[in-house]
Structure 1
Amino acid sequence: MSAMDREDMQILLARIDERVKDIQQDVKSINDSRKCQGHAVKIKFLERMVWGCTSAVALLGLRSLFEMMKR
C-alpha cells in the first residue's frame, strides 16, 4: 500500500466516521422526540423485575454462604 493509498483510506474512514456520528445523532433525536409512555412503563417494570431477581439471587448467595460458615 502506498502512502497515497493510506491517506485516501484515512480520509474515507474520517468521512465514514462523521456520517455515522450524524446518523447516531439523528436517531437519538428521533427517539427523544417520540417517546411512548406505554413503553416507558414496560421498561420501568422490567427494570424493577431485574433488580428484584438480582437482589433475590444475592440474598440466596449470602444465605448459603452464611450456612456454610455456620458448619
Structure 2
Amino acid sequence: MSPKDNRELHDLLIRIDERVKSIQDDIRAINKERNCSANSVKIRTLERMVWGCAATMVGIAARMTYEILR
C-alpha cells in the first residue's frame, strides 16, 4: 500500500469511528429516556433475591465453620 492509500484508509476509519460514537450516544440517550417501570421492579426483585441468597450462603458457611471449630 502506498502512503496515500494508508492515509485514505486512516481518514475512512476516523469517519467510521465518529459515526459509531454518535450512534452509541443516540442509543444511550434513547435508553435513558425509555425507563420501563416494570423492568425496574423486576431488576429490584432480582437484586433482593441475589442478596438474600448471598446472605443465606454466608450464614450457612458461618454455621458450618462454627460447628467444625466447636
State TM-score, norm by structure 1: 0.70
**Counterpart in 2 of 1:10?**
10
Equivalents in 1 of 2:11, 2:2: separation in Å?
Answer: 14
Equivalents in 2 of 1:30, 1:55: separation in Å?
Answer: 36
Cα distance, 1:66 vs structure 2: 6.6
Q: Please say which of residues 41-50 and 8-17 is displaced more in the overlay.
A: 41-50
Secondary structure of 2:24's match? helix
AA paired with 1:39?
Answer: N
Unpaired segments of 5 or more residues in structure 1? Answer: none
Per-residue CA deviations over 1:2-57 (Å, capped at 9, x if unaligned) read 11111111111111111111111111111111111111111121222233334444
AA paired with 2:18?
Answer: E
**Counterpart in 1 of 2:51?**
51
RMSD value over aligned CA atoms? 2.3
Q: Deviating runs (4+, > 6 A) in structure 1?
A: 65-68
AA paired with 1:36?
Answer: C
1:8–1:67 distance in 2 versus 1, CA, 3 Å: farther
Give the length in aligned residue pairs: 70
Unpaired segments of 5 or more residues in structure 2? Answer: none
AA paired with 1:5?
Answer: D
